[in-house]
Amino acid sequence: MLKIKQELLAGLASALDTLSPGAGARAAFESPKVAAHGDFASTAAMQLAKPLKLNPRQLGENLRAALLAQPVYQRWVSDIDLAGPGFLNIRLKPEAKQQIVREVLQAGAAFGTQPSNGQRLMVEFVSANPTGPLHVGHGRQAALGDAICSLFQTQGWSVHREFYYNDAGVQIGTLATSTQLRAQGVKPGDAGWPEAAYNGDYIQDIADDFLAKKKVKSDDREFTASGDVNDLDGIRQFAVAYLRHEQDLDLQAFAVKFDHYYLESSLYTSGRVAATVQKLIDAGKTYEQDGALWLRSTEYGDDKDRVMRKSDGSFTYFVPDVAYHIAKWERGFSKVINIQGTDHHGTIARVRAGLQAAGVGIPVGYPDYVLHTMVRVVRGGEEVKISKRAGSYVTLRDLIEWTSKDAVRFFLLSRKPDTEYTFDVDLAVQKNNDNPVYYVQYAHARICSVLASWGGDAATLADADLSALDSAPAQALMLLLARYPSMLADAARDFAPHDVTFYLRELAASYHSYYDAERILVDDEAVKKARLALVKATAQVLHNGLNVLGVSAPQKM
């Protein structure tokens, strides 16, 4: 059916070019708002009427006649209705819709994916400071980043997943002193405990292991403790390695893998920060005032100029960000997406301003940003704010242990990133249709059960006679299957993995409706195989879509 759609679009483009040379470039189909009106819709007549100074309904009638005269429309289209001021509602013949079943079964796991486009994409996400376990906000970011990576991979991009973390600065210093105090026997609430110190029980765990001279290893580093409570630098290195290991465990529980961990400290030790500042000075985009170095960011749309180097000689936090993004560009990533919390909104303009001011050839609007809100967790009807492990927030691992990796991923992806979200723990563990991830997974498992009950060779279904798939529920299901590739393309373009969750819920509902309307394992062999082919194709698309989200497609539930 996808090939048929392209043939019909080509026919529409040809007809439009006949009416107005060049108009064929705008040929497009829309989905009718009411399914009963047709399968495809076109508003081309209304768009062309004004420049051609013609009545849109008359132009629509002319376009309708031109399309129905084409062999491709005669073969695959049953009728074209003219509605309103010039809408064309196109109705496909059943055999046109049936082709999607063959296309899905032939493509299998590759259905919906595009060939390589030769372009490289980096998605930077999570990027948590190594000062504590990952919280549910990091979980939302991990789910978003991983799903966006998968979406772009379906569209032919070579995708690189990167985790950037601040292994320098005030927060790391606070981590070191908090651990040192615990190692010395000082604890939260004692007279010598600083207000800014970290209070979670995990700090005591780090201190105990440091005193025990243990070795810790993470994906990017390992360190053996000296056990000396006066070794503050050793405590700092041990604490960072310890928490990087803890974060690795969080990410493993969430099935998220990164290609590279990028250290903020490397931007300084490699000279990248100094070189970036010099580029901006040489470009004449900075000035000195009140003992500080400022960037003329207002020249690039920022609401005010920004301090780069403070009077004490230290750099403000957006300066290494600019250096880091120049490094991304120099590493060959033509497109970069950063997944960050909404509290980072203010950094967008100044980072982009710095990149433009540096004059290194980076295009305007680089990088792209996806900002997300935090997550409230409700359990037993009450908000959960405290974790024994972390002390002041619910950790990602808490949420996974209370529910499941699949539930956490699907739930955290089920709303637009910038929409407030409340994670209902009780709903996430329910095994009924109110639980969206259960509802979708159950549809897949239900189909697998039907195929197992049949017991035949599933490979033979690719050649089944599909003419029996002419009922309204069957045709509705096939049209939904045909939407999957364009849904993926749109979701990638809009950084919108929530669209995949919406689609999967709609597909599951359509399958459940079909299952309730038509018995699949009937006596008539031809009808049975046609229906089995349809539901097997549905299971394949459910599997593919869940895979994009990083959610399993169980065969039994």
Over its length of 557 residues, how does the chain's per-residue pLDDT go in tens digits? 788 999 999 999 999 999 889 999 889 998 887 777 889 999 999 999 888 888 999 999 999 999 999 999 999 999 999 998 889 999 999 999 999 999 999 999 999 999 999 999 999 999 988 888 899 999 999 999 999 999 999 999 999 999 998 887 788 999 999 999 999 999 999 999 999 999 888 999 999 999 999 999 987 789 999 999 999 999 999 999 999 999 999 999 999 999 999 999 899 999 999 999 999 999 999 999 999 999 999 999 999 999 999 999 999 989 999 999 999 999 999 999 999 999 889 899 999 999 999 999 999 999 999 999 999 999 999 999 865 555 668 889 999 999 999 999 999 999 999 999 999 999 999 999 999 999 999 999 999 999 999 999 999 999 999 999 999 999 999 999 999 999 999 999 999 999 999 999 999 999 999 999 999 999 999 999 999 999 999 999 999 999 999 999 999 99
Phi, psi of 479 (to 5 degrees): -60, -35
Domain presence at residue 515: yes
Domain extent at residue 325: 121-159+260-372
C-alpha distances (whole Å) from 220 to each of 128, 165, 171, 257, 534 are: 14, 12, 20, 13, 47
Q: Are residues 454 and 514 in the same domain?
A: yes
Please check whether residue 100 lies inside any domain of the structure.
no
Contact, 344 vs 333, CB < 8 A?
no
The residue with tokens 């209370």 is 402
146 and 264 in one domain?
A: yes
User: What is the model's pLDDT at position 355?
Assistant: 97
8 A C-beta contact, residue 97 and residue 106: no
pTM for this prediction? 0.91
For residue 464, the tally of other CB atoms under 10 A from its CB is 24
Report the C-alpha gap between 63 and 353 in whole angstroms: 49
Q: What pLDDT was estimated at residue 387?
A: 58
Residues 149 and 278 in one domain: yes
Instruction: Report phi then psi at 38, rounded to 5.
Output: 155, -175
Round to whole Å and give the CA distance between 408 and 414. 10
Q: How far apart are CA 70 and CA 139, in angstroms?
A: 53
Last residue in a domain, options 197, 218, 253: 253
Residue 386: per-residue pLDDT: 66
**Per-residue pLDDT at 169:** 74
Let me know how many helices (H) and strands (E) the chain has, helices first: 20, 16
- Domain boundary residue among 201, 220, 253? 253
Of 397, 405, 333, 371, the C-alpha closest to 161 is: 333
The per-residue pLDDT for 35 is: 76
Say whether the peptide bond before residue 367 is cis (omega within 30 degrees of 0).
yes
What letter represents residue 76's amino acid?
A: W
- 403 assigned to some structural domain: no
396 domain residue, yes or no: no
Give per-residue burial for 250-267: e unless 16+ CB within 10 Å, then b: bbebbebebeebbbbebb
The answer to whether residues 181 and 225 belong to one domain is yes
Give me the pLDDT at residue 388, please: 54
Is residue 447 included in any domain, yes or no?
yes
What are the φ/ψ torsions at residue 323 (nearest 5 degrees)?
A: -60, -40
- 306-309 sheet: strands from edge to edge: 286-289, 292-295, 306-309
Q: Is the dihedral of CA 524, 527, 531, 533 positive or negative?
A: positive
- Say how many CA atoms lie within 13 Å of 274 toward its Cβ: 7
Domain count, the chain: 4
Q: How far apart are CA 372 and CA 118, in angstroms?
A: 29
